[in-house]
Structure 1
Amino acid sequence: MDPEPALSTGAVARSLGVSPTTLRSWERRYAIGPAHREDGRHRRWTPGDIARLEEMCRLTARGVPPSEAARVALGAAPGTRTAGRAAGVTPGGPGALPLGEVRPEGRGLARAAVRLDAPAVAELLEAALADHGPVAAWEEVIAPTLHAVGRKWASAGERYIEVEHLLSWQISAALHRVRPAPEPLRVPPVLLACVPGELHSLPLEALAAALGERGVPVRMFGAALPAGALCDAVRRTGPRAAVLWAQSRTTADRALARSVAGIEWGLRGARGRSALLLAGPGWGPEAQGPRIGRLSGLRSGLAVIAELLAGRAPATAAGHPGPAACDS
């Protein structure tokens, strides 16, 4: 019979959303460690070991003290007080986020966010971005967790707003730490901005990180850029493309989009215009007019922008719907 597969402490920590230091502390204080370990070898966690850790995480996330949670997870007979506190905990816990099929890192990130464990969230985000790069990390780890928090918040009234705020802050900080590649000379930048009144900028920050990693010059203006400042920024930077993000229909200003698409910049006799790319669910599925494209996904959006920088006009930049940049 084949032995059960065993994982390292680091791999288990990432999947659970805790730090390796926390796992070592639990083992030292509460004897909740690998059931078997050979002398002279690193810890190796079997599925049974991991199941006990998952129970430990579920209980502590519900407010059960770690010592009592460890007794329950290890199968020891808990005291009356512990049994009463843990009795309402169901598998996965009522606070678990509805993630579906995602990478293990996504489940770990969700668990850490629900616990409001900011250091663990930061560590998991840093590892996901380093291991997978901004695109895969955003699409397969970060965005699914954000969507799950949003669904939980929508179904639980005012609860879990603090989880979304902490997670969003940590994601923004992690994306800002992605080191951009050196910018090539004489390549026009890509301008990124949220429309006036729009405060949801994380998908645009993911696009900025992915473009920067590829050495594409980016001018990022973030949330709620006033209309006049947006138009001035386009004239002053002469971007090859301007990406405008709108999360909701109440912030998507189509008149402003047409105005930006019509801006000319540069010296008289050598005037230029930028391609305008609309991103975010607020704009609806269709492009809005000539020289206005519609973006719908981070990975394909990078390809669209690469085409524009190469001097080719993809279908979305010519006013026709097609794939592109960051509705996730």
Structure 2
Amino acid sequence: MDPAAVPPEPAPSTGGEPALSTGAVARRLGVSPTTLRSWERRYAIGPARREDGRHRRWTPGDIARLEEMCRLTARGVPPSEAARAALGAATAARAADRAAAVTPGGPGALPLGEVRPEARGLARAAVRLDAPAVAHLLEAALAECGVVTAWEEVIAPTLHAVGRKWASAGERYIEVEHLLSWQVCAALHRVRPAPERPDTPPVLLACVPGELHSLPIEALAVALGERGLPVRMFGAALPAEALCDAVRRTGPRAAVLWSQSRATADRALVRSVAGIEWGLRGARGRPALLLAGPGWDGRNREPRTERLFGLRSGLAVIEALAAGPAAGPGPGARPGTAAGRAAPAACGS
């Protein structure tokens, strides 16, 4: 019999719940696997049982103790004292209750709602300001899920939860948002793009003048690069004149303008960019102009533009534009054309 055809032995379980691997527990709690192994070695807060020749498997009771350890260390308790408290029977019972809660326990919990376990782990690590764990969890999510799923189901929900917590807690948690945003940016920049598709005009991405919130459009840039589409990314707060010059010089298939707030959504700039043309008389081209971000909400659509609303659908729109003729949409583009299909599109955070 082919050994590869033999199904793997199921992991041991306790009380009907499967025991988890160290990596799965690390993602759930928002710590690195190295940290878990260090806690086990130094403070004997490891799996209650481990069979010879098997990897560590963590039962719900083991995870409950780790939950308490994370909660106490996040409050500033030294790890040695936190481990002693977590190993106490009464404290472990309280931690088991917290392990089943919808959000990470404690007054510093982020309002996540129903999300993937990876998002819970990321939130825990961010609240603790555990930068190495945040970096590890982001790298794992991007590698395992891909840019689009990692952004929509892990990164964006956590960023939104930090924003809601900040809004409800005065000036607190700004440091959490800054640390998480920096680590997300760094993790996205570590994703290697695929080779660019030959003979394909680029997609130009930029924030409008005065707009400093660029993470969602950075995610779009990385997702396009993952698919081999040429990208020219200009980042935050590109001056109007520089934006127009960049459009003329690159001749992009599409130009995406990001605005986070209505204060930065410059309609006059949109009209200027929409009117840019290049090339020889009789064969001129212009970009498909795509407006992304909540700053454009509640406003009438400008001629020769389309709104973008979500990363996954936006990628489909831009890929459809990349596969079509080089010229962008003209006035009165109809549904069913490449421009008309851009309505439910890209890069909302």
Deviation at 1:39, TM superposition (A): 2.2
Structure 2 counterpart of 1:136: 149
Amino-acid identity (%): 85
- TM alignment of 1:138-217, pairs within 5 A: 138-217=151-230
Deviation at 1:306, TM superposition (A): 1.2
CA deviations on 1:201-260 (whole Å, 9 max, x unpaired) are: 000000001100001110000000000000000000000100000000000001101110
Q: 1:121 to 1:29 in 2, by over 3 A?
A: same
Structure 2 counterpart of 1:84: none
Distance 2:342 2:168 in 1: 33
Distance 2:154 2:117 in 1: 8
Alignment of 1:100 with 2:113, yes or no, is yes
Structure 2 counterpart of 1:222: 235
Deviation at 1:45, TM superposition (A): 0.2
Deviation at 1:123, TM superposition (A): 0.8
Give the counterpart letter for 1:322 in structure 2.
A
Q: 1:286 to 1:296 in 2, by over 3 A?
A: farther
SS across alignment from 2:144: helix
Structure 2 counterpart of 1:28: 41
Structure 1 counterpart of 2:58: 45
Distance 1:91 1:326 in 2: 28
CA deviations on 1:60-88 (whole Å, 9 max, x unpaired) are: 1111111221122111689xxxxxxxxxx
Q: Which runs of 4+ in 1 moved over 6 A?
A: none
Query: Which TM-score applies when normalising by structure 2?
Result: 0.86
Distance 1:39 1:187 in 2: 56
Distance 1:157 1:295 in 2: 31
* Equivalent position to 1:54, from 50, 67, 71: 67
> In the alignment, is the contact (CA less than 8 A) between 2:292 and 2:346 conserved in 1?
yes
Structure 2 counterpart of 1:237: 250
SS across alignment from 2:146: helix
Structure 1 spans left out of the alignment, 5+ residues = 79-89
> In the alignment, is the contact (CA less than 8 A) between 2:321 and 2:339 conserved in 1?
no
Give the counterpart letter for 1:326 in structure 2.
C
Cα-Cα RMSD: 2.1
Query: Which TM-score applies when normalising by structure 1?
Result: 0.92
Alignment of 1:327 with 2:348, yes or no, is yes
Distance 2:168 2:303 in 1: 40
SS across alignment from 2:255: strand
SS across alignment from 2:213: coil
Alignment of 1:292 with 2:305, yes or no, is yes
Structure 2 spans left out of the alignment, 5+ residues = 1-13, 92-102
Deviation at 1:24, TM superposition (A): 1.0
